[in-house]
Amino acid sequence: MKIAIVGGTGEQGPGLALRWALAGEEVVIGSRSQERAEKVAAELNGELGQDRIRGLENARAAEAAEVVVLTVPYSAHLSTIESVRSQVQDKIFVDVSVPLDPEYPRRMKMPPAGSATEEAQAALGPSTRVVAAFQNIAAHLLRDPTHAIDCDVLVCGNDLEAKKTVMSLVGKMGLQAYDAGPAESARVIEGLTSILIRLNIRHKVKGAGIRLAGLPR
Ligand SMILES: NC(=O)c1ccc[n+]([C@@H]2O[C@H](COP(=O)([O-])OP(=O)(O)OC[C@H]3O[C@@H](n4cnc5c(N)ncnc54)[C@H](OP(=O)(O)O)[C@@H]3O)[C@@H](O)[C@H]2O)c1
């Protein structure tokens, strides 16, 4: 599977790239700057000991992939979606965004569409299949592939086959994915992150996650 990570040079993107590359997937790091994308790809390849990750400007990265993952700050959500709109038509688009209130990041500030995921689906149109995933995993946990992550991954979206593909990609990282329903479930999944942030602060930890009970694993 060819996976592009748009905005993959920051906190969340490199961990996803590293874990998928380790699982044998072909990964492209995207950035507004080709140079930054190449630099991060080279750093990650250094850790892998193999050249498995490429770096390209965002739109070219999206063009080169079958599955496009978005990891930019929510403030850049719609503008970045617009910048890759034509490259992601007929593809799976994985939205990792959490619309936290920039003035008080323990609180959600949901867009009028209901959630970032629904906003992305509305902006991209029906031929792009938007799937939400990874909102509840802290970046530093993803970034260290030598450690197992104590968190399940809730996946939602309106296209069953797209969700199955994304759940399989989650599974390749050694994580347990659950289909949490249609795109509107992202209102809850994205919102859970604000609770995890509060729990991190309350318990003076950095990696609070979620585990579902009573379901087959
Ligand atoms: N960090 C976490 O622990 C975590 C956990 C769960 C979910 N998330 C969600 O994942 C998403 C990414 O989080 P992150 O912490 O990885 O973000 P980040 O490190 O702040 O930014 C990621 C990348 O986005 C690009 N970017 C920054 N500002 C931009 C702008 N104005 N326009 C276009 N691109 C811009 C930058 O890449 P270039 O400069 O190279 O273009 C940057 O390296 C967010 O929506 C966040 O809510 C994060």
Binning pLDDT at 50, 70 and 90, where does residue 217 land? Answer: confident
Which pLDDT belongs to residue 162? 98
If you take atom 18 of ligand 1, which residue's CA is the nearest one?
Answer: 10
Q: What are the tens digits of pLDDT across the range 4-52?
A: 999 999 999 999 999 999 999 999 999 999 999 999 999 999 999 999 9
Compute the CA torsion angle 35, 39, 44, 48 (nearest 10 deg). 100
Q: What are the tens digits of pLDDT across the range 125-171?
A: 999 999 999 999 999 999 999 999 999 999 999 999 999 999 999 99
For the CA atoms of the chain, what is the radius of gyration? 16
Instruction: For residue 70, give the ligand 1 atom closest to its CA.
Output: 11
If you take atom 5 of ligand 1, which residue's CA is the nearest one?
Answer: 138
Which pLDDT belongs to residue 27? 98
- Residues in contact with ligand 1 by the CB-under-6-Å rule are 7, 9-13, 31-33, 36, 71-74, 76, 79-80, 96-98, 135, 138-139, 193
Mean pLDDT value across residues 86-110: 97
The helix (H) or strand (E) run that includes residue 5 is strand 2-6
